[in-house]
Amino acid sequence: MKLYVGCDLGGTNLRAALVDVEQGKVLLQKTTATLARQGPEAVMQRMAALISEVIADGGYTPAQVQGVGIGAPGLLDLEKGETLFLTNFAGNWPHVPLRDTLQRLTSIPTVLINDVRAIAFGEWRFGAGQGVETMVVFALGTGVGGGLVINGQLHLGLSGSAGELGHIVLDPNGPRCGCGNNGCLEVFASGPAIAAMGIKMVAQGFATRIADLCAGDYNRITAALIAQAAQQGDVIAREIYDRAGEALGRAAATLCVTLSPQRIVLTGGVARAGDLLLNPMRATMQRLARVIPVEQVELVLGKLGDQAGVIGAACFAAE
């Protein structure tokens, strides 16, 4: 058994998991609040304490753990082990020596990786991507992230930035994206984008089950609530998911003619809508990607759920 720790640095929560990287199995996982407003030093101290705790509670010593992999959101310098810009973190963490600090605090070799690249790696090694050489992962949540495996290797590109699929521009005249561009995939297919479409329909007085389910409280309108309405046969809710699925299909069609992947995996909270997204996505891919055998590209949901990131980060550390 090869023991590694996979750690997920989230804006709300920190997660650390003791992982057997030969089996892709989480032996023990612990979570604590990030409290990002306290600043990088305090957060890194909390991460180190959580890593030490998960190792001790698993019945091991730090000497028995061969490495730590940290999945962090945003822009990183993998060579220097620094964060460059973390979205949703107070101060955005410019040039914070995350790798070296955690290595010093835990006395365990540590590596950094983007959090969604970690998810992609985990799904490829032990989840929905097993057995393929080339795959694409879309992670759908508060934003839209991604990851690429090409010819049996996680593709990292310049400083680990390859795979920012949520920022493929679909419509230069479209809504403003948090990255500063207009019309990125993220503004059409993220959880907040889907929720915003539902709020708009209710506010405009359309007859929709969404209005009944939210009981007049717009704050209750989420992508999950709209999916519930769609599964109950609501036409407006289905149209909303058709639009999100079509946007994903347009981005996927571009990736199909570029990479010709064997498999495309959807993961993250929004992907739980399943066929509500997969069906329009598949139809759009078949309509737009004509010069490759797009019908051979498998379109599936992730298998590892919330453990994909910690498994992937641990496995990346093992690599």
* Distance of alpha carbon 102 from alpha carbon 317, whole angstroms: 13
> For the whole model, what pTM was predicted?
0.95
pLDDT at 83: 96
* Distance of alpha carbon 29 from alpha carbon 220, whole angstroms: 30
CATH number for the domain formed by residue range(s) 3-121+307-318 = 3.30.420.40
pLDDT at 246: 98
pLDDT at 140: 97
Report long-range pairs for 288-293 (Cβ below 8 Å, ≥24 apart): 288/249, 288/250, 288/253, 289/252, 289/253, 289/256, 289/257, 291/257, 292/256, 292/257, 292/260
- 3-121+307-318 and 132-302, same CATH topology: yes
Measured on CA atoms in the order 17, 18, 21, 27, is the torsion positive or negative? negative
Rounded to 5 degrees, φ, ψ at 77 are -110, 100
Query: Model confidence over 43-77: pLDDT tens digits?
Result: 999 999 999 999 999 999 999 999 999 999 989 99
What single-letter DSSP state applies at residue 208? -
What single-letter DSSP state applies at residue 96? B
pLDDT at 87: 77
Which positions ≥6 away from 248 have C-beta within 8 Å? 138, 185, 189, 266, 277, 281, 284
From the candidate CATH numbers 3.50.50.60, 3.30.420.40, 3.20.20.70, 3.20.20.30, the one assigned to the domain spanning 132-302: 3.30.420.40
Closest CA to 223 of 175, 285, 270: 270
CA end-to-end distance (rounded Å), the chain: 15
Give the sheet arrangement for strand 3-9, strand by strand.
25-33, 13-20, 3-9, 67-72, 110-114
Residue 291, Cβ density class (10 Å: 0-12 exposed, 13-18 middle, ≥19 buried) = exposed
* Distance of alpha carbon 7 from alpha carbon 311, whole angstroms: 9
Angle subtended by helix axes 191-203 and 223-231, to nearest 10: 70
pLDDT at 56: 97
Could you give the C-alpha distances from 61 to 53, 99, 102, 119, in angstroms and in order?
10, 20, 16, 27
Q: Are 301 and 265 in contact (CB under 8 A)?
A: yes
What's the token pair of residue 202? 């209710």
pLDDT at 178: 86
Task: Decide the pairing of beta strands 82-85 and 13-20.
Answer: unpaired
Identify residue 7 by its one-letter amino acid code. C
So where are the chain's domains?
Answer: 3-121+307-318, 132-302
pLDDT at 159: 84
Q: Are 168 and 184 in contact (CB under 8 A)?
A: yes
Residue 29, Cβ density class (10 Å: 0-12 exposed, 13-18 middle, ≥19 buried) = middle
Which positions ≥6 away from 63 have C-beta within 8 Å? none
What's the token pair of residue 251? 């981005």
Low-confidence ranges of the chain (pLDDT < 70): none
